[in-house]
Structure 1
Amino acid sequence: MKTPEHQDLARLLPGPAERDLPPGRHRHHKERLLRAIDADRRPRPLVRRLVRPAFALPLAATAVAGTLVVTTLTGGHDEPPAARVPLAETGTGRGAVVLLDRIAAVALKSGTKPVRDDQYVYVRSVATETEHIKPVKAGKLKQREDWFSQNSGPTNDVGVFREDGEYVTIHGADKDPAGIDRPTYQWLASLPTDPDALLRRLRKETRPIKGQEFDQTVFDTIGNLLWTGVMPPRTEAALYKAAAKIPGVVTMRDAVDADGRHGVAVAREDRQLGRRTEWVFDKKSLSYLGRRTYLTRTDEWGKAGTLVWANAILERAVVDRARDIP
């Protein structure tokens, strides 16, 4: 017999026959479902946003085409991060503007090279395996590799991912072109580089999610674009500056990614849902470390401060073929 929780999840997720699950999308759904809790929200097509919460190395410290970027690990990847997150201070919007402006300045100097349509963005990461139960429980870490196709035209080639030693090839069902739900280098390069114009464009193309603040949805959309896309330095810088213009975006002096690395964070709390999402950056280099989401109020999903989801980027590069290892 199905429990109410199972019925909730069945309602929120599209039927499996419609299309394949894109690289990283199932982890993205875990986070989104848990953050939306019991809200009656409309799901997005699963072949679309190729994300787990984040591919945003500020391409400040990121990959230029054909160049391997390795992040030094600080610990093992079997145990989850602490299940409890110290409740963060309020943070300041002014601080967010200053920090994101600094990150944008670093991005402008990244020297990221163009990525061809026939190449792939490779990402190796770890993330918590979150259980869909009440109260929520962030489980042990699992390592994953993704190869994101950069084909800008209508294509069935979405990419490949590997977990537990198994490769899964993802095929789009309707030959989706590149766009906000499948960001490629060429599509990202076509976006406005004026932050105000860019934010207007993103607000227009971002689909609202019932039960979630729209500003939070836009903030998440920017995080998704940064997570999955290698882009020109000016585009990346504009995305950071656009994020600074979203109401409620603040800085946090300390945050921790799934690998236990401490950094400074850009964060936003969805007060409607009682969830805070933080993008964690290295305090010195401003390189992107990872992302985490936790409860900010006590409800049926757990106590305030309970970790919902966390991840960490371990390595990324641009490669010529799916399954190529840098």
Structure 2
Amino acid sequence: MNATAYQELARRLPAPAERDLPPDRHRHHKERLMRTIEDDRRRPYRRLVRPGFALPLAAVVASTLVVTVLPGSHEGSLETRVSLAEPGTPRGAVVLLDRIAAVAAKTDTEPVRDNQYVYVRSLSTETVRVKPVEVGGLRKREDWVPQDPRPSHDGGVFREDGTLVSITNSDKYRAGIDRPTYKWLASLPTDPDALYERIRKETKPVQGQDFEQTVFDTFGTLLSRGVMPSPTEAALYKAATKIPGVVEMQDAVDADGRHGIAIAREDRQLGERTEWIFHKTSLEFLGQRTYLTKTSERGTAGTLIWANAILDRAVVDQPRQTP
């Protein structure tokens, strides 16, 4: 099987179950998956599924239903080159995160029942080439994430490219850092120091990535996709100020083309920067993006690796239901 066939096969893999890596972090690392495939073509086929961060071996897709609700790509244009503006300072990040935390603390969030689902509608890029990096069009996606904290086979439901997929795990997985239900998030300490240590302790290392960057990615997933009590959300933003290397950016663009301000961190091992993007006035979480900061065989500095946009987030009573 040649590299092109490997890449096409990897592109068609379903999203991973929440236990191993949530969807956004899966997409974030997809380019590394493609690089692993290209650099080691002689590995057995089964290694394609789990290069250290993708699908748990126990996860299986239970059923697939083809529908025609969503087109496969977004009609808008995507900027694949990022202006390498100088980042701000750690102090600037503290000020911005404190502002965002203050807004979060005033937000009235209704408790989520164990039998409900968190619904997320988003856009994200897909990788079409690895060396040099090239992203393709945007894909529309909807996720329904179960909130029952008890060990469960239910991995949720997602819809992408007009296809609705239910995920069933062969093992039962309980709520935790990689399956952050409302009840689990509500159980976290709201003291920023204690919360930072808790998240850092429970974050799993990703091979080849700066561990502090992995912690940053974990925070980003919790903040962009989870629904949690207001005190917990505010504490997470304050705890994020303690991640070494976090700075602010005055301008950033999400996958939907929306400009905002950002909290960013650069992984110098990989030569790439990841940004959390917020609306400039409301400070609402808009999305994330990652791009190269150093020129290498992967591409020139400023090349976009991955981007997404959170378009809607809500709580619903059952999968396939929309707000």
Superposition TM-score tier, normalisation by shorter sequence: 0.7 to 0.9
Give 1:106-121 correspondences, 5 Å limit.
Answer: 106-121=103-118
Which of 92, 97, 115 is the equivalent residue of 2:94? 97
Structure 1 residue 5, shift from structure 2 partner = 11
Cα 1:90–1:45 change in 2 (3 A) is closer
* 1:150 paired to 2:134: no
1:134 match: secondary structure: coil
- Structure 1 match to 2:213: 216
Query: In the aligned structure 2, how far is the partner of 1:236 from the partner of 1:184?
Result: 13
For structure 1, the 5+ residue unaligned runs are 49-75
In 1, are the aligned partners of 2:119 and 2:316 still within 8 Å (CA)? yes
- Structure 2 match to 1:43: 52
Moved more, 202-211 or 276-285: 202-211
* 1:195 paired to 2:204: no
- Structure 1 match to 2:176: 179
* 1:123 paired to 2:120: yes
Query: In the aligned structure 2, how far is the partner of 1:185 from the partner of 1:96?
Result: 27
- Structure 1 match to 2:78: 81
1:180-230 Cα distance to aligned partner (Å, 9 max, x none): 010000000111111111111111111112211111010001111123310
One-letter code of the match for 1:111?
D
- Structure 2 match to 1:159: 156
- Structure 1 match to 2:260: 263
Structure 1 residue 32, shift from structure 2 partner = 1.2
Cα 1:138–1:45 change in 2 (3 A) is closer
TM-score if structure 2 supplies the norm length? Answer: 0.83
Query: In the aligned structure 1, how far is the partner of 2:87 from the partner of 2:5?
Result: 32
Which consecutive aligned stretches of 4+ in structure 1 deviate over 6 angstroms post-superposition?
Answer: none
Aligned residues: 292
1:63-100 Cα distance to aligned partner (Å, 9 max, x none): xxxxxxxxxxxxx9324421110012132100000000
In 2, are the aligned partners of 1:79 and 1:140 still within 8 Å (CA)? no
Which of 21, 34, 38 is the equivalent residue of 2:16? 21
Query: In the aligned structure 2, how far is the partner of 1:321 from the partner of 1:240?
Result: 29
In 1, are the aligned partners of 2:22 and 2:178 still within 8 Å (CA)? no
Cα RMSD after superposing both structures: 2.7
TM-score if structure 1 supplies the norm length? Answer: 0.82
One-letter code of the match for 1:238?
A
For structure 2, the 5+ residue unaligned runs are 41-49, 58-72
Cα 1:82–1:20 change in 2 (3 A) is closer
